[in-house]
Structure 1
Amino acid sequence: MENYERLSLNQITTEQWNLKEAIEGCARAEVPWIAPWRHKVEELGLSTSKRLIKDAGLKVSSLCRGGMFPAGNASERQKRIDDNKRAVEEAAELGTDVLVLVCGPSPDRDIVSARQMVEEGIAQLVPFAESHGVKLGIEPLHPMYAAERSVVVSMDLANTLAEAYRPEQVGVVVDVFHVWWDPDLYNQISRAKGRILGFHVSDWLVPTPDMLKGRGMMGDGVIEISRIRKAVEKTGYSGPIEVEIFNDQIWSQPADETLIQMKESYLKHV
């Protein structure tokens, strides 16, 4: 991997930047892809976001995020479906065919029902997404996030949800931070052949400084990133590789420095 043609800045890595600054930063650093977050797009406005990305010559690897399907009552669940439809429209407008789904936590103690709500939410969203040329990328999260962010906590669960649909409708997003621990990881990556819609990299720091904002730069932790990348590529995935890091220390340094580190670490450890 001698070049950067697949490298994407997932915008959360430079959380201190608004989307305009992130676009300009990518252009300066010659990072060809960007993965915006919806709240950053909203701040700038959808049409302005689209124009600035296009003018900078950047490509959009994905939009983060849809999902958050489970809720305590039917009307709230419907609100979430409506918001997901807006997310699909935003993804299509920005020129990406991948909407990342962080599927959402359980509204109460009933995790089985919450998973059912995720399944039903995806079923409602698929026809709308397909009509906009957008694929839904289910991103399984690390099990420690089950209570707060997603009840889909393994590649096995994500694959099972995705396999109810055609690969051009629903797939999975492999984020090394969330899946590296899984004893069945390589079998599940093989199982996802033809369905991998995204590959995200960062590292697992020891000790982990914070449950949410404790990800490290690639090479600073314990994940076999390049082994996982090779397994993902063996399935036929050759798309963008997003660097997605939540880390207060990284957010507090100049973001241009972060992009320099990101490129160096990408070449050495991804």
Structure 2
Amino acid sequence: MGSNTEFLKRMSLNQITTEQLNLEEAVQACTKAEVPWISLWRHKIEEIGLKQSKKLVKDAGLQVSSLCRGGMFPAATKTLRKKSLDENRRAVEEAAELGTDVLVLVCGSSSEHDIEACRGWVNEGIEELVPFAASHGVKLGIEPLHPMYAADRSVVVTLGEAMSLAEKYAPDQVGVVVDVFHVWWDSELYQQIERAEGRILGFHVSDWNVPITDTFKARKLMGDGVIDIPRIRAAVEKAGYQGPIEVEIMNEDLWNMAGDEVLATIKDRFVHYV
């Protein structure tokens, strides 16, 4: 792994980990903690506008590892699906403007009774979006989510499913995002990571608490759960990914902490448990 200092150069703050902070506060916390990367969330950008968001990040010298999120393609009517696609195009434009080439796709839920139809709409949505994203130099990173989120967030629940979607396109157009919280349980995980060689666009870390008490804010700090994060990281790196590693933790305790304390805590856990 090399020195801790060198390894920390790969750490990225996924902004949802500091949901209590606005973008300016998150940028300041990263700068103070010498965290070189940040993954931006669109609702935080919307609070102050794209132009000011870009300036804050640029002036701080931070690099943007990804933009979260695009996707949410399934909808009951063509009108709603078109509206979703238009919103995805705006997300692509934002990613390009902010200087990241990765738009993370949380593909969308089975809000209707027909989960197969929803999977079809995800496929159609990505197909529609690829040429627009490519024209802006932005890659689409399909992030499979844990099956417990199929009804409200994503019908793409395994890395294998994500790869079957991604492989329809060139590696510089569509890839996958490996989030340990969502994929650690999969008996085919390591063969699917190997399959994903050259297509891994992001790697997210947190931990799985026992028992799960809140499906959205369920994630724990690395080292507080059951996930073998180093083994997954080694597999991802063997498959060619050497980019930033995002710490993405939705957790009420972290959201109640001061930003500087959050950054200090996740840096320590990153070094010892990632």
Superposition TM-score, scaled by structure 1 size: 0.99
1:225 aligns with 2:199: no
- Residue 200 in 1 paired to residue 208 in 2? no
Question: Which residue number in structure 2 is paired with residue 151 of structure 1?
Answer: 155
Q: Aligned match of 2:189 in 185, 191, 201?
A: 185
Provide the C-alpha distance between the structure 2 equivalents of 1:44 and 1:209, rounded to a whole number of angstroms: 33
Letter in 1 for 2:107: C
- What is the distance in 1 between the residues matched to 2:240 and 2:194? 10
Question: Cα offset for 1:184?
Answer: 0.4
Query: Aligned ranges for residues 68-79 of structure 1 at < 5 Å?
Result: 68-79=72-83
- Code of the aligned partner of 1:206: V
Alignment of 1:36-55 (within 5 A): 36-55=40-59
Q: 90, 101, 112: which one pairs with 1:86? A: 90
Distance 2:263 2:193 in 1: 28
The answer on whether the counterparts of 2:111 and 2:152 sit within 8 Å (CA) in structure 1 is no
Q: Distance in 2 between matches of 1:264 and 1:165?
A: 38
Could you give the per-residue CA deviations for residues 6-43 of structure 1, whole angstroms, max 9, x where no partner exists?
00000000000001100011000000000010000010
Provide structure 1 residue ranges, at least 5 long, that are not aligned to the other structure: none
Alpha carbons 1:162, 1:170 under 8 Å: kept? yes
Per-residue deviation, 1:185: 0.2
User: In the alignment, which of 104, 121, 129 is matched to residue 100 of structure 1?
Assistant: 104
What is the CA–CA distance in structure 2 between the aligned matches of 1:209 and 1:223, rounded to whole Å? 17
Mapped contact 2:146–2:157 kept (Cα < 8 A): yes
Kindly state the Cα deviation for residue 135 of structure 1 after the two structures are TM-superposed.
Answer: 0.1
What is the number of equivalent residue pairs in this alignment?
Answer: 270
- The answer (yes or no) to whether the contact 1:35–1:61 under 8 Å persists in 2 is yes
Matches within 5 A, 1:113-192: 113-192=117-196
Contact 1:20 1:44 in 2 (8 A): no
Q: Secondary structure at the match of 1:62?
A: strand
3-state secondary structure, aligned to 1:164: coil
CA–CA distance in structure 1, aligned partners of residues 207 and 237 of structure 2: 19
AA matched with 1:132:
H
Structure 2 stretches of 5 or more lacking a match? none
1:258 aligned partner: 262
Letter in 2 for 1:254: A
SS in 2 for 1:242: strand
Looking at structure 1, the residues matched to 211 and 154 of structure 2 have their Cα atoms a distance apart, in angstroms, of: 23
Query: Which deviations, in whole Å up to 9, do the C-alpha atoms of 1:195-243 show, x marking residues without a partner?
Result: 0000000000111221110100000100000100000000110000000
Percent sequence identity over aligned pairs: 67
Could you say what secondary structure the match of 1:153 adopts? coil
Output the CA distance in 1 between the equivalents of 2:226 and 2:260.
25
| Distance (whole Å) between structure 1 residues aligned to residue 38 and residue 11 of structure 2 | 8
Q: Deviations over 1:32-58 (max 9, x none)?
A: 000010000010110111011011000
The answer as to whether partners of 1:203 and 1:218 remain within 8 angstroms in 2 is: yes
Residue by residue over 1:227-267, the C-alpha shift from the partner in whole angstroms, topping out at 9 and shown as x without a partner, is 00000000110000000000111111112111101000000
1:16 aligned partner, one-letter code: Q
In structure 1, how many angstroms separate the alpha carbons of the residues matched to 2:214 and 2:89? 32
Secondary structure of the corresponding residue to residue 203 of structure 2: strand
Amino acid at match of 2:53: S
- Contact 2:96 2:137 (C-alpha < 8 Å) held by counterparts: yes
In 1, Cα distance between equivalents of 2:163 and 2:45:
29
Shift of 1:106: 1.8
Matched residue, 1:27: 31
Moved over 6 A (4+): none
* Residue number among 64, 68, 74 corresponding to 1:64 in the alignment: 68
**Aligned alpha-carbon RMSD (Å):** 0.6
CA offsets per residue over residues 94-137 of structure 1, 9 Å max, x none?
A: 00000000000023110011000000000000000000000000
